[in-house]
Amino acid sequence: MIPDMMHLDTFSLDVILAAVGVGFIHTLTGPDHYLPFVMLARAREWSRLKTILITAVCGVGHVTSSILLGFFGVVAGVAVGRIEGVEGFRGGIAAWLLVGFGLAYALWGIRKALRRRQGIEFHEHGGHSHLHSHGDHHHVHEDGEKKSATFWTLFIVFVLGPCEPLIPLFMVPAARGKWALAILTGLLFGVVTVLCMVGLVLLGAEGLKKLRLTAMERWAHAMAGVVIAASGLAIIFLGL
């Protein structure tokens, strides 16, 4: 049963307010929460709905993994500090995966841009591959496997990426037997995080749409990869 907001004790109210505030700040100050989606939405020309769905699904996976880890920590009697240590470890893995994904995507984008400049693009159709020569226009062909690979890579990175501030907010009430408060805290933190992610991504994506890249347009994928890699490096070296 969800706690009655009119009869909350000071501890419960503090935890709830902290969940909302920390969820917002955690997302806002973490460029990895929105920059990868902004850049990919621009480079891949995602629709607004697709941008929202991909961002939201990754956001839900991001928060849910930490809630589950916190739940098993409480059930197993593991201290908050040790769970936070696990979060930090998997956070490092996620950050390096983000860097690797960004660099790989940038290299692919550079290759794609160079082929466009030469008027040649490599295409794959079913079980065969061939080259197309283009004059003043180009066609972009992406099979389902490439599209799904981008999504699943992002999703895995965000599932591994921890919500460190959520762990004590969830585990402390649960350890005191206040499971309803712990669940409410997790839900509020998750909703705020996902809504903030979606809002920031939409603002950034709409802003980029208004920029006329003209000659730089063909480098959109390469630039997206560089920004994604930079987001991962910011986590590793700046602690963002």
119-145 per-position pLDDT tens digit? 545 444 444 444 444 443 444 445 455
What average pLDDT score do residues 28-39 get? 93
pTM confidence score: 0.82
Give the domain ranges of the chain.
9-238
More reliable by pLDDT, 3 or 76: 76
Helix-strand-coil split of the chain, %, nearest 5: 75, 5, 20
